[in-house]
Amino acid sequence: MKLSDTQRTWLQRILTGAVLLVVAWLVIKNAREMDWPAVWEGLRSYGASSILVAIAIAIPGQLACASFDLIGRYSIGHKLSVARTMLISYTGYYFSLNLGALVGGLAFRYRLYMPYGFRPLHISQIIGLSVLTNWLGFILIAGIVLAVQPPDLQQEWVPPDAVLRGIGALFLVLSAAYVVLCFVRGGTRLHMRGTELLLPGPRVALVQYALSLTSWGAIGAVIVWLLPGDVSWFTVMPVLMMSAIAGVWSHVPGGLGVTEVVFLALLGGVVDKSDVLAALVVFRATYYLMPFAAAVVAYIWLESTAQTMESAADGSR
């Protein structure tokens, strides 16, 4: 039986509401069980030097995110400067990360690109390639981690190693298939739900992987640095992968509460839960809030200069 658009919309709303209720219950449950004085002590243990190192580790990932939109700019042949494109990409990424994809990934990017003579179709191509670039590295890292060294997360509901290795192998096959597709069909225009997407060539695909791997790798490295004890990157990355998927599925902006619940559930047996939460609070401050503050400033500047750029674009037509 085929559902109508209205029925699908209501079903999606019901499922989203159910997920939000589950997330809220888990957040409240963990909050009641948390040793808050220990969390506060954990926060106080981070000195200025530790936070500065975390910020420095995050910078390559932030520059990579700022470069995502360059892939789309290159594919459509627009002449907007690299610096301004990166600033729009950075602003869109961190608005999306903190406020949700619908706002940052769509509305703000459309608003920021329109004054420079971009057509809606071109903007949708840039957004589509940017999103694709981001998740290519996710799939490849998840594949490598799960196939090579499945984590010992000491949870009954975590699948056995054989299943995790199988999922990792599948992800690696998908990653290889994308590269092969770009070699064979690079330059082909794909049509998906009314949007046209230009499939990159092999060299651009490799750049996509390099940017995405830098972005996700930096996120994991920041968390590893902030966690106390000897916690490996291979242990943190699968938890980060799961929290990212849970955050997208829950539609909670920034995965607020969702990320924390997933990390507490999966790393709680490896690191003390109060230390995990303290590390995540500092992580949110350094990787979410501080760059978001910079993105707000960048957005104000882009808006203030948009009228001049729009007039110049109109005069050149």
pLDDT tens column, 81-120: 999 999 999 999 999 888 876 655 677 888 889 888 888 8
Query: Is residue 119 situated within a structural domain?
Result: yes
In this structure, are residues 281 and 43 in contact, taking their beta carbons and an 8 Å threshold?
yes
How many domains is the chain partitioned into structurally? 1
Query: pTM of this prediction?
Result: 0.85
Closest CA to 177 of 210, 140, 203, 148: 140
Query: Is residue 93 situated within a structural domain?
Result: yes
Specify the pLDDT at position 44. Answer: 86
Specify the pLDDT at position 153. Answer: 60
Give me the domain span that covers residue 184. 49-307
> 59-68, 183-192, 194-203, 256-265 — which one is most confidently predicted on average?
59-68
Query: Is residue 211 situated within a structural domain?
Result: yes
In this structure, are residues 220 and 240 in contact, taking their beta carbons and an 8 Å threshold?
yes
Query: Is residue 5 situated within a structural domain?
Result: no
In the chain, the percentage of residues whose pLDDT exceeds 90 is 36
Query: Is residue 186 situated within a structural domain?
Result: yes
> 83-87, 183-187, 308-312 — which one is most confidently predicted on average?
83-87
Average pLDDT of the segment spanning 161-184: 90
**One-letter identity of residue 147:** A
Alpha-carbon distance of 125 to 128, in angstroms, equals 5
